Structure 1
Amino acid sequence: MDRNSIFGLLIIGAILIGYTYLTKPSEEEIKAINTRDSIARVDRLHNEEIEAARLEGLKTQYAEVKEDTVATKETYGAFSGAVNQKEEFITLENKLVKLTLNTRGGRIQNVQLKEFQTHDSLPLLLWAEKNSKFGLTFYSENKPMSTQDLFFVEANGATSVNATTSEKGVSMRLMVGDDKYIEYKYTLAPDSYMVDFTVNLVGMQDVISRNSNFVTFNWQEDIPRQEKGRKFENQYTALYYKFFEDEVDNLSITGDKEEDLATKVKWIGFKQQFFSSVLIADDAFKGVKLKSVDMDENSPILKNFSAEISLPYEGTQLETHPMKFYFGPNKFNTLREYGKNLDGHDIQLHKLINLGWSIFGWINRYFVIPIFNFLEGFISNYGIIILILTIIIKLLLAPLTYKSYMSTAKMKVLKPQIDAINEKIPKDKAMERQQATMALYKKAGVNPMGGCLPMLVQFPFLIALFRFFPASFELRQQSFLWAKDLSSYDSILTLPWNIPWYGDHVSLFCLLMAGTNLVYTSMNGQMQSSNQMPGMKYMMYLMPVMFLGWFNNYASGLSYYYFIATLFTVLQTIAIRKFMVDDDKVLAMLEANKKKPVKKSKFQQRLEEAAKQRGKK
């Protein structure tokens, strides 16, 4: 290397040293660079921690999913694929009924009757969803299994099926494999309250435990309020059932009740006051357990009904259990029509309506209802129909009313003579008084019980109509005068407190009924003889007052009927007294009877002969 090269390198070194010195950063710039480097280093470390945490989370999540999958498989076995899916709804409807089906459980979510509303103008749903069950329970792989919370799929993929023009159906399937599933099939015809419901078990012989000889169908529902008067509606809400080829019965209306039925059952009905849900077997249910639970009086739910039904299981490739649901009104003619159209046999659905037992039910079925239905064809106002029905009944019973009045009139004209007997014979000789009074009656030809027989004949009509009006669907939400609903109470005043045995309102028809009964009682009191039992007079006046407590919460149509019937009886009594019966003529007739020889029955003759024989001894 020569001198020039060395000199050049020194110059270049000097330039680099000078440039480095001149361009070095200030202390502030050095601090900023150090701060930026520190932040970058912290960010890098933080990102590394986040990534590490993410990877750890993925590992944990995977472990949890794997654990959940194992747990689900252990819990649900062959049905593990039907867990944790999305809940979907399918509607099946016609002009009368709308069913909402839920893929969770493949069940009926609720039932709407499209023609009707609740008392507060809301859609009428037969079931409340709060505490309901609908599905099968059985054993699978030695574990109890329920379809209640397992997810079904809709076989046809539809979300809305309208059956207004032709019969339509929806198939809900709980899939286990390609040819293994539980199927609920719902079929609805146009203009029908009846829904065909079929349970199919397809290829389940290796899924349901082989030692099972039945599967259990569980049906449980909360029964919501639909009408205005809770107390009154609750009295007509009950769980009914019909024994196979036998009578209809029901669980107790009040209190909690449970019944295990060992005999065959044709149908089970969750009955409300005016509507029912009835599950009907095509053949018969061979093992049924029923339960009814009362709810608190402040609850919007009246009762909770449940039915556990054993369905036979034989472990074959295909097992079918056909049934039917009736969702509709408790209208006598409607229930009788649906009950008779099933396989040509009458399954007595109309007995869901309690029209009274024995003669009371006969009067309603074969007399009151035909007249009521006939009048419906001409008159749309049900208040007028009740008025005409009352007049018809009172006119038919008019001969008995006249006979009863005549018996009372005879007792009235004999009252002075009976008073004379009572004055002549002291009180301590009550038996002698009674014998003398009966001798007078016999001599005058008066039967002291003559007024009772006509009343006994009229009594079944009073009891029959007591059953008819609260159960009459036709009166539901029908208004008349101030009454907005003839099937419920007609409140004209709401009280600021609740009176025991009376309520928190004032029903005008109930007041009118009690008033006319007081008037009628007063009229009868004037006709009574003085030998009536002590205190009976006051008891007679107490009854109309008790009516206020009994009928204040009852159907206003019933109170209106009793008011009109009693008023008509008062008018009949006034007319008979003024135009048909004269006390002087009645007395003259009785005096003439005294002159005739007294005819004795053979029984009386034997009694007198026996008395003579005892006297000789």
Structure 2
Amino acid sequence: MEEKKFDKNSLIGFLIIGAILIWMLYMNKDEQAKDEVTTEQVANETTNLQDSTTTKQVTPTEINTAAATDSLAVEGLKNRLGSFAYSGTLPSATDAVTTVENDVLILKVSNKGGYVVEAMLKEHTTFTGEQVYLIKDGNNDFNLQFTAENRLLNTRDLYFEPSLTKSGENNVLTMRLKSGTDSFIEYRYALIPGEYMLDFSIKSQGLEGIMDTSSPIYLDWNLKGYRHAKSISYENRYSRLTYEHDDEDFSKLDPTGEDAEVEKDVNWMNFRQHFFSSMLLTDTPFKEVAFSSLDYVIDEEVDTVFTKKYGAKILLEPKGGSLAENMNMYYGPTDYQIFNDYDRNLDEALPLGWGIFGMINKYVVIPLFGFLSGFLPAGIAIIMLTVLIKLALSPVQYKQYLSQAKMKVLKPEIDEIKKKHEGNSMKIQQETMKLQNVAGASPLKGCLPAILQIPVFYALFTFFPTAFDLRQKSFLWAEDLSSYDTIAELPFTIPFYGDHVSLFPILASIAIGAYMIMSTGQSMQAQQQPGMPNMKFLMYLSPLFMLVFFNNYASGLSLYYLTSNLITIGIMLVIKNYIIDEDKIHAQIQVKKKTPKKQNRFQKKMSDMMEQAEEQKKTQKKKK
């Protein structure tokens, strides 16, 4: 019976993959290193930007206590608001809202502040079956702060006059904060049919002698992200503030704890809430923006409503003594296809991986999966995607097995070399390299194919958690492929594992374990060789890792790993039993050994160095 030995190449491959998995799970940081900026530093920089002149800030209480029918109150309102007291005496000076909508989005805009107080997506629901609201019940604050007649005013405290009209097929809502019949600050919202992106602009008219454009004018946007998914911690992991600045430079704030940053020339910002995004884009880059992010999920059992609080304090630049800012707002899915259609680099807001990993996702995985899911159920589309990828990589896998087969055939001769030159490690290494060179085999050739598969492996690892097409798509017992599947609820929480049992990670772990046993070809001995690690422990480490840490990951990702390992096992069996003939390989090697093979420059240099080292060793022995 053939004695089965441990395959060192497989061990190297497993260790590399395990290290990459740990890196992907625990080092989910920015792809580009950057200096840390604390919230206090940002606050200091923001303060330095503000005008040092003394202004009188007007509070909401002072405005609301002034009754338009009371002449003394009106006079007091004028003292506090100056020319903008006019808006406080209009019929629109109430907290009423105006609704503007298209076929995918409903927005409600309040007279007070003139900003969106409710944004609902018509075609999407949360994990509880309720409509998805990105803005609701005061989680959004959108404020223009400016100086007028030595008064520091905030539009969130002032009343706008609404006007709802049609412009072609677009529904247009104009909100005006008036200081007179022909002098005002205007917010204009234009909803396009079928679009989550809307036109938004801010302009001022007739305020040249009222608004102080020499003092800083800030647009301050703050938003608390609502929970929409079954696992708030998993959703929170992929919720992040991202933005483009300095001409196609993309950055992100830290997704954990509290982070802040001040950036120049910002083109857009995305308050990403995993599968949904609230965005502000501008035609002309914002001169300076102070970003902030605060993580709300400390304890999943307690923190169940919000994931993060995002903030952006934007410095606006008046042109010709007045405001004229043309922008866009986006309230909708974090969907690569939708983002890519706008041709504004919005796809960079998705965590698809950097460099070659992102390219594989953008140009291979996403188009292929989009095609398959167009006519197949999501679960079947994942299986077919995995099959096609594994078939495409099968030549690489064949090279790996061929190299392993050559090393196996050479083993008896390598053992003879070790026996012949016992105690002389340098000579053993030198003769072994010569033999491998002649046979065209080496451990490196067996390891390289596994390394070549890593970019695809990592690309798919980043694709499945961000694939919007998987959201709320069921397969077998999994109700939602974008979240974990559940076959049992636990009455307690296990650290790192959770309070439930997911079946797909269990099946994937079994498949990985079976593959490792087959690929290592071991019948574990009770006694380990001296200096060798505990191979049984290493063999079970990867399946255990999958079982524990993927229990809370998207079931679509676990389905991919299950399918991938089953296909790998199948390909391995076909190659070993029907393609690779070890006797034929042995015969070919013997023929090659009789035909001297010319060494390349690197091999020649290595051989010369080893011979020199051997000569030096002999010389030292003679001297002794």
Range with greater deviation from structure 2 (198-207 or 587-596):
587-596
* Residue matched to 1:141: 149
Q: Are positions 1:401 and 2:409 aligned together?
A: no
Is the contact made by 1:129 and 1:221 (CA closer than 8 Å) also made in structure 2?
no
Is the contact made by 2:245 and 2:263 (CA closer than 8 Å) also made in structure 1?
no
In 2, Cα distance between the equivalents of 1:606 and 1:578? 39
Is the contact made by 2:426 and 2:610 (CA closer than 8 Å) also made in structure 1?
no
In 1, Cα distance between the equivalents of 2:459 and 2:248? 24
In the superposition, the TM-score normalised over structure 2's length comes to 0.80
* Residue matched to 1:54: none
In 1, Cα distance between the equivalents of 2:530 and 2:582? 20
Give 5+ residue unaligned stretches, structure 2.
Answer: 1-65, 620-624
**CA, structure 1 residues 184+533, in 2 after alignment: closer, same or farther (shift >3 Å)?**
farther
Q: What SS does structure 1 have at the residue aligned with 2:330?
A: strand
Of the three residues 163, 180, 183, the one matched with 1:180 is 183
* Residue matched to 2:99: 91
In 1, Cα distance between the equivalents of 2:258 and 2:190? 34
* Residue matched to 2:540: 541
In 2, Cα distance between the equivalents of 1:357 and 1:508? 31
Of the three residues 367, 388, 395, the one matched with 1:370 is 367
* Residue matched to 1:103: 111
Shift of 1:295: 0.6
Q: What SS does structure 1 have at the residue aligned with 2:360?
A: helix
In 1, Cα distance between the equivalents of 2:71 and 2:181? 25
* Residue matched to 1:312: 317
In 2, Cα distance between the equivalents of 1:441 and 1:528? 27
Provide Cα deviations, 1:172-207, integer angstroms capped at 9, x if missing partner. Answer: 122222222221111112222221111121222232
RMSD over aligned Cα atoms:
2.9
Is the contact made by 1:510 and 1:559 (CA closer than 8 Å) also made in structure 2?
yes
Of the three residues 513, 517, 523, the one matched with 1:522 is 517
Of the three residues 223, 233, 246, the one matched with 2:235 is 233
Shift of 1:247: 2.7
**CA, structure 1 residues 594+188, in 2 after alignment: closer, same or farther (shift >3 Å)?**
same
* Residue matched to 1:36: none
* Residue matched to 2:60: none
Is the contact made by 1:445 and 1:594 (CA closer than 8 Å) also made in structure 2?
no
In the superposition, the TM-score normalised over structure 1's length comes to 0.80
Is the contact made by 1:205 and 1:315 (CA closer than 8 Å) also made in structure 2?
no
Shift of 1:151: 1.6
2:210 is matched by which residue type in structure 1?
V
Shift of 1:531: 9.5
Is the contact made by 1:128 and 1:222 (CA closer than 8 Å) also made in structure 2?
no
1:515 is matched by which residue type in structure 2?
I
Is the contact made by 2:430 and 2:607 (CA closer than 8 Å) also made in structure 1?
no
**CA, structure 1 residues 610+119, in 2 after alignment: closer, same or farther (shift >3 Å)?**
closer
Shift of 1:507: 1.4
Shift of 1:402: 1.3
In 1, Cα distance between the equivalents of 2:529 and 2:585? 20
* Residue matched to 2:351: 354
Is the contact made by 1:128 and 1:223 (CA closer than 8 Å) also made in structure 2?
no
Give 5+ residue unaligned stretches, structure 1.
Answer: 1-60, 341-346
Shift of 1:486: 0.7
Provide Cα deviations, 1:390-427, integer angstroms capped at 9, x if missing partner. Answer: 1111111111111111111222333444455556666x
In 2, Cα distance between the equivalents of 1:178 and 1:490? 60
Q: Are positions 1:253 and 2:255 aligned together?
A: yes
1:470 is matched by which residue type in structure 2?
P
**CA, structure 1 residues 375+211, in 2 after alignment: closer, same or farther (shift >3 Å)?**
closer
**CA, structure 1 residues 603+416, in 2 after alignment: closer, same or farther (shift >3 Å)?**
closer
In 1, Cα distance between the equivalents of 2:585 and 2:547? 37
Is the contact made by 1:412 and 1:527 (CA closer than 8 Å) also made in structure 2?
no
Equivalent residues in 2 for 1:369-448 (5 A)? 369-379=366-376, 381-419=377-415, 431=426, 433-448=428-443
* Residue matched to 2:224: 222
Shift of 1:461: 1.0
Provide Cα deviations, 1:310-361, integer angstroms capped at 9, x if missing partner. Answer: 1112573x53222111222122221111x23xxxxxx211222222111111
1:206 is matched by which residue type in structure 2?
G
Q: How many corresponding residue pairs?
A: 538
Equivalent residues in 2 for 1:195-210 (5 A)? 195-209=198-212
Q: Are positions 1:169 and 2:172 aligned together?
A: yes
Is the contact made by 1:93 and 1:162 (CA closer than 8 Å) also made in structure 2?
no
2:401 is matched by which residue type in structure 1?
Y
Q: What SS does structure 1 have at the residue aligned with 2:81?
A: helix
Give 1 or 2 for the bigger CA radius of gyration: 1
Is the contact made by 2:498 and 2:552 (CA closer than 8 Å) also made in structure 1?
yes
Shift of 1:613: 6.9
Provide Cα deviations, 1:510-555, integer angstroms capped at 9, x if missing partner. Answer: 1111111101111121179999982273324312211222211111
Q: Are positions 1:562 and 2:558 aligned together?
A: no
Indicate the percent of aligned positions where both proteins have the same amino acid: 38
**CA, structure 1 residues 130+402, in 2 after alignment: closer, same or farther (shift >3 Å)?**
same
In 2, Cα distance between the equivalents of 1:314 and 1:602? 66
Shift of 1:370: 2.1
Equivalent residues in 2 for 1:272-287 (5 A)? 272-287=273-288
Range with greater deviation from structure 2 (356-365 or 515-524):
356-365
2:201 is matched by which residue type in structure 1?
T
**CA, structure 1 residues 526+533, in 2 after alignment: closer, same or farther (shift >3 Å)?**
farther
2:106 is matched by which residue type in structure 1?
K
**CA, structure 1 residues 420+131, in 2 after alignment: closer, same or farther (shift >3 Å)?**
same
